[in-house]
Structure 1
Amino acid sequence: MTAALLALRRPVDDDRGSATTQLVLVLPALLLIALLTVQFALAWHARHIAQFAAERALAAARAEDGTTADGQARARRSLAALGSRVLASPTVAVERTREQTTVRVSGTVMRVLPVPGLVLHASGTASGPTERLTTPTGDRP
């Protein structure tokens, strides 16, 4: 028998090369899923960074002798200490009234995947009463 006849007699259900084809098709999908998992984990982490900075800023801004500038400075220091790559372009807004102080920290999450339109934002908000000295009747001394 010649080689051509042997090739014709080969079974039709030959699976040679199918593992390579499957790997070529499945591996990019698995890598995309892994990178998306990392991207959303970074978003979760950035949210915690923003919340921590907001809570630290609230502690500084709501004190009796605190100011909005004190809160913003404390938030900036906290963000710098935690690293600014995860929460990019952070903004800090501090509102202080006689009764209530509120701090909002927000920014964009570092991108792992260069997917158009996939821009994640993270923010944290902390609010509490503004500290002030009062008498037992509630009046200022």
Structure 2
Amino acid sequence: MPARHALPPRGRLARRVRHALSGDRGEVTVELVIATPLLLLALLAIIQFAVWSHATHVAQAAASQALAAARTQDGTAGAGHAAGQRLLDDLAAGPLRESRLAVVRDATSVSVSIRGEAVAVLPGVHLHVHAETVGEVERFVPDTDTTP
């Protein structure tokens, strides 16, 4: 011990500072405490985007199905609504909540709109889903060509 105290006070202080700066004790724990929640948040954000994307595709598929049923020559808005609702009942139970389907048909066109909300993976995140499609009513037009 006497040899250790033989260093001048300035030398002992420098040695303590070097020892404190060279130690890495606890560094990994601090990095994990900071990085793990950020990594989990990023992963949940990716999953949330995937759920929203899937819910959007389900709404688009149901809108297309409703349009196809309602725009036939003998189709009705009710038939389109039933076809779209069947597909929503089959596919939207997971990713799409509170879906609302509206089908409007007049003499020449059909419009289908679906609104809802994607299931929330991240608390407090409410992503709205909207799909809309419009098409002309199919009708038979006789051929008027009279060329021999």
Q: TM-score, normalised by structure 1?
A: 0.85
Post-superposition shift, 1:111? 0.3
Q: Does 1:18 align with 2:32?
A: no
Compare CA radii of gyration and give the structure with the larger one.
2
The count of aligned residue pairs is 130
Structure 1 residue corresponding to 2:51, chosen from 42, 49, 74: 42
Q: Does 1:81 align with 2:90?
A: yes
Post-superposition shift, 1:76? 0.9
Post-superposition shift, 1:135? 2.6
The list of structure 1 runs, each at least 4 consecutive aligned residues, that deviate by more than 2 angstroms after superposition, is: 133-137
Residue type matched to 1:11 in 2? H
- Measure, in 1, the Cα distance between the counterparts of 2:143 and 2:31: 76
Provide the alpha-carbon RMSD of the alignment.
1.8
Question: Where in structure 2 are there 5+ consecutive unaligned residues?
Answer: 6-14
- Measure, in 1, the Cα distance between the counterparts of 2:107 and 2:142: 16
Residue type matched to 1:16 in 2? R
Structure 2 residue corresponding to 1:98, chosen from 79, 86, 107: 107
Q: Percent identity?
A: 41
Residue type matched to 2:109 in 1? Q
2:75: which partner in 1? Answer: 66
Question: Where in structure 1 are there 5+ consecutive unaligned residues?
Answer: none
User: 1:88-131: CA deviations, max 9, x gaps?
Assistant: 0101111111111111112000000112xx21011212221101
Structure 1 residue corresponding to 2:131, chosen from 119, 124, 138: 124
Greater fraction helix: 2
Post-superposition shift, 1:83? 3.6
